[in-house]
Structure 1
Amino acid sequence: MTKTYISHHPLEGRIPLDPGIRAVDHLEVPRRQAIVTVMAADGEETAVAAALTTMSEPSLRFVGPGEWLVVSQSETPDGLLRRSLSLVLADTAYVLDQSDGRIVLRLSGPNVRRILAKGVAIDLHPSVFAIGAASNLLCGHISVNLARTGENEFELIVTRSLAESLFDDLRLMGREFGLSVDFSG
């Protein structure tokens, strides 16, 4: 017997359908994004890192020695996994699709560092945490991968099961600044 599952975004009921006016400090939630974990095979870390930096569109997030998250806004998970990464990495790395198990939250605005400072214990000054930098850390009590994607823009990647808790925490941390929220695209 075949069973059809209907997948929905874990924040579907938490974000208003009519988001209202977008504030200068904003939390954007993409409905769908391709996220792939790449782990270098033994002795292949340098080769994998070099191969990953040659890719133009997907964004690369450092997770740990020999491990990265590759995030794409334009590729499908299958396309990123099969066409892009398997061609570039061949037999030098293990690649695993994380798209259904992780959620991306984009935080932007002039007060983004002050908002994040309420929940993370890392120096987010531009001279220390440059554009393109990423780190695994705790936001409150929740493990996330935090990446700086622009001048005043950060992305937090969290497991699907903890997305609601992180969403609530970020809204609470941004309430002082009038943080607005909506789905992107």
Structure 2
Amino acid sequence: MQSTDSPTLPEPTDATQDSAAAAIREDRLWYDNGWTARVIKNEDDDGWAVEMFKDGETEPALVGPWTMGRDKKNPKPLDQTAFNTLVKTATEVLQRHAQQAHAALHKRLTVFALERQWEIRLDITPDEYEPFATLSAIDDEGEEVARVRVRPDFRLTNAGAAGWIAGGFPRLGRDED
């Protein structure tokens, strides 16, 4: 979505300022409590859209359609209720994104091997130059029994984990400690 005739985003404020004094409440631009809502023209069609920015972020956390006003030409003005709803929705989007990112980097599974239950963890450490992962085994008493460094693209499966346990926790792959 491209914006034309859009209000500019406010500069980040000092945390010690009174938030009521720093708040902006205009028809197409609201800023309060670290969030900015900006209504923009949707160049893809004749409608309007709203962008939600969290302080310090350059990309919007949320972009969605915005309602036309009564004249069917201009956007409906922002109000406190709409702003609160947009903040809640944008916050939920960011929380889901963080949960998905965490789940992609930290995987766990439970396997049964050697007549015991084991929790196997794969923790990926993203790094621009040297990413790696750590594979660890925790026994049924909660003690870490083994830890080896593996490639960041290591595929964690039940069969592979059971084989690693049965084999005495050998080092895997070429990314070893």
TM-score bin (small chain) = under 0.3
Greater radius of gyration (CA)? 2
Q: Which has the higher contact order (CA 8 A, sep 6+)?
A: 1
Question: TM-score, normalising length from structure 2?
Answer: 0.25
Question: TM-score, normalising length from structure 1?
Answer: 0.24
